[in-house]
């Protein structure tokens, strides 16, 4: 089941969501890039960072959501091309076009958690690199954090349980860092894997945590519910969160957010 996306909701926390892109690209060795692509480019926030890092390169962005691509186009980034396309289709099209385009940098920031079969998809993405190019990936590794555990628990324990059963399994589990290292270094890439937990101060308190996940992890759940059910579900979610998050004296909460990073360089 594919969730629907709202660019407006997503960009509410744009700076926090874009920081991993800056940290990821900062770890890429120097490359005189001519062609770069942002897979799952969303509203173009990650593409802007990619374009700024490689100012001489032709920049492409693909995303399966029309709403996201419309928002990316609305940024009016000179020299960037955006199309609505699913990563699977993009990979298949590349495989069937022998000698098809190769990219110096492929960025996939905060998208592969929605894509199955990492054991196939990561090497397939790396297979689209030009010699010396870099595959750069960041995936949220937060399925066991309270904010995610609670959205699943409330989904499984309410009048909506059967309706939400498929949503509970929408996200792909992220593997261990060693597994990604072995997958890509075993395929011949120079690989750098690390994990970081960000602690995002959210000024709105617990309701800001709800707003954050309305733009990402909650999408598959909310998509399945009527407006009334959404209200009930979110009220229960917010109430459960208040038991897990300490509100700081200034009214904010700290949202812990573990993320896994991978850079794989074509030798
Ligand atoms: C969390 S947003 C990340 C946006 C942006 N890359 C960033 O760094 O903030 C995830 C994006 O992945 C897109 N997406 C999810 N599954 C996809 C797929 N199978 N193919 C292409 N895009 C996908 C969604 O539409 C959404 O825009």
- Could you report the per-residue pLDDT of 85-114, keeping only the tens digit for each? 999 999 998 877 666 679 999 999 999 999
Residue whose tokens read 């062609």: 35
Query: Using an 8 Å Cβ cutoff, are 4 and 219 in contact?
Result: yes
Residue whose tokens read 């890039």: 33
Sorted by sequence, the CB contacts under 8 Å of residue 231 that are 6+ apart come out as: none
Q: What is the mean pLDDT of residues 186-197?
A: 98
The answer to whether the CB of 5 is under 6 A from ligand 1 is yes
Q: How far apart are CA 228 and CA 231, in angstroms?
A: 5
DSSP 112: G
Sorted by sequence, the CB contacts under 8 Å of residue 60 that are 6+ apart come out as: 35, 36, 37, 38, 80, 81, 82, 83
Give residue 29 CA to ligand 1 midpoint distance, Å.
25
Find residue 262's DSSP bridge partners.
Answer: 137, 193
Q: How far apart are CA 239 and CA 150, in angstroms?
A: 10
| Residue 71 pLDDT exceeds 90 | yes
* Token representation of residue 204: 């709105």
Q: What is the mean pLDDT of residues 135-141?
A: 98
Quickly state the pLDDT bin for 76 (edges 50, 70, 90): very high
Find residue 202's DSSP bridge partners.
Answer: 253
Q: State the chain's mean pLDDT as an integer.
A: 95
Which of ligand 1's atoms lies nearest the C-alpha of 216?
1
Sorted by sequence, the CB contacts under 8 Å of residue 97 that are 6+ apart come out as: none
CB atoms within 10 A of CB 248: 13
The answer to whether the CB of 217 is under 6 A from ligand 1 is no
Which of ligand 1's atoms lies nearest the C-alpha of 87?
20
pLDDT digits 0-9 by tens, 206-239: 999 999 999 999 999 999 999 999 999 999 999 9
The answer to whether the CB of 65 is under 6 A from ligand 1 is yes
- The share of the chain scoring above pLDDT 90, in percent, equals 90
CB atoms within 10 A of CB 236: 17
Which of ligand 1's atoms lies nearest the C-alpha of 38?
6
The answer to whether the CB of 86 is under 6 A from ligand 1 is yes
- The DSSP element (H or E) to which 235 belongs, if any, is helix 227-242
What is the residue with the minimal CA distance to atom 25 of ligand 1? 65
Q: How many CA atoms lie within 13 A of 74 on its CB side?
A: 10
The answer to whether the CB of 191 is under 6 A from ligand 1 is no
What is the residue with the minimal CA distance to atom 16 of ligand 1? 114
């Amino acid at each position: 089941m594919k969730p629907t996306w709202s660019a407006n909701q997503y960009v509410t926390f744009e700076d926090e969501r874009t920081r991993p892109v800056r940290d990821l690209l900062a770890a890429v060795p120097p490359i005189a890039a001519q062609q770069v692509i942002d897979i799952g480019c969303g509203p173009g926030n990650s593409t802007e960072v990619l374009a700024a890092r490689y100012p001489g390169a032709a920049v492409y962005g693909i995303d399966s959501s029309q709403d996201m691509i419309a928002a990316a186009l609305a940024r009016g980034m000179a020299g960037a091309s955006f199309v609505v396309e699913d990563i699977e289709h993009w990979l298949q099209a590349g495989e069937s076009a022998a000698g098809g385009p190769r990219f110096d940098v492929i960025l996939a920031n905060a998208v592969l958690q929605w894509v199955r079969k990492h054991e196939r998809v990561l090497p397939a993405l790396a297979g689209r690199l030009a010699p010396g190019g870099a595959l750069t990936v960041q995936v949220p590794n937060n399925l066991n954090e309270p904010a995610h555990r609670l959205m699943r628990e409330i989904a499984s324990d309410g009048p909506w349980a059967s309706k939400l059963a498929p949503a509970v399994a929408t996200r792909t589990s992220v593997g261990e860092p060693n597994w990604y290292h072995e997958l890509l270094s075993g395929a011949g890439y120079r690989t750098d894997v690390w994990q970081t937990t960000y602690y995002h101060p959210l000024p709105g308190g617990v309701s800001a945590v709800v707003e954050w996940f309305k733009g990402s992890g909650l999408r598959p759940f909310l998509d399945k519910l009527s407006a009334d059910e959404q209200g009930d579900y979110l009220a229960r979610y917010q109430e459960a969160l208040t038991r897990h998050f300490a509100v700081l004296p200034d009214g904010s909460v700290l949202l812990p957010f573990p993320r896994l990073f991978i850079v794989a360089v074509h030798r």
